[in-house]
Amino acid sequence: MKKLIVLALVVSGIIACNKGDSLPEGGGTVSLDLPETPFKYFAFGDDSLDHRATLGRVLFYENRLSLNNAVACASCHKQAFAFSDNVARSRGFENRLTGRNSMAIQNLGFDGFVVNPGGTFGSFFWDGRENDLKKLISRPISNHVEMGIEDLSVIPEKLEQLSFYRPLFEKAYGSSDITIDRISDALALFLTSIQSTNTRFDQDGSSGASLSALEQHGNVLF
């Protein structure tokens, strides 16, 4: 009798886990606690630009951009490690190892991506194979190791299952339509807002801060 009870508990636990792994049906029950006035990501532009960056920030931490809802951009680009990873090779959506370490992504805007009114140039990835930041967004999402969604057209449908996305798109773009182009645009805009401009290296010679002799020597060697 005890064995039957234990078996029943195990089976019910497995069923519960499977249900928890699936997307909520209809409107999502997950909610966001965002201020009505968006954070000021950029010194220029109106609130719509900041609403777009806010949407991009939410998407950056969204696991549903992976095939099995397990991996987000932030899974490999961790804020605590300069938006890079603390391991040599990151884990993809099926726990397989990526080919390279996840690059730090701050200051991408300095590589030539123009957020307003538009236009792209520069180079991204370790091998510089992409020069368009919006196109860069889709590469890890569709990669068979990283996030695994080869058909990007399924992403809007996945996001529509969460009730908070349509209002975010409405604030960002003036309508609640969820499209791949808007997803790429919002993520690209958020990425350009990640800037590191107040380090001691940046301050050296400009605001009284200075590098040590050893640090200066390292800079020369670099």
Q: What are the pLDDT digits (tens) for 99-117?
A: 888 888 777 776 544 443 4
Q: Which of the 8 DSSP states describes residue 129?
A: -
For residues 23, 28, 30, 32, the Cα torsion angle rounded to the nearest 10 degrees is 130
pLDDT at 18 over 60: no
Give domain limits for the chain.
40-196
* Residue of 61, 103, 105 whose CA lies nearest to 195: 105
- Distance separating alpha carbons of residues 160 and 173, to the nearest angstrom: 16
Structure tokens at 18: 């499977």
pTM for this model (two decimals): 0.73
- Distance separating alpha carbons of residues 3 and 1, to the nearest angstrom: 5
Fold classification of 40-196 is Cytochrome Bc1 Complex; Chain D, domain 2 (1.10.760)
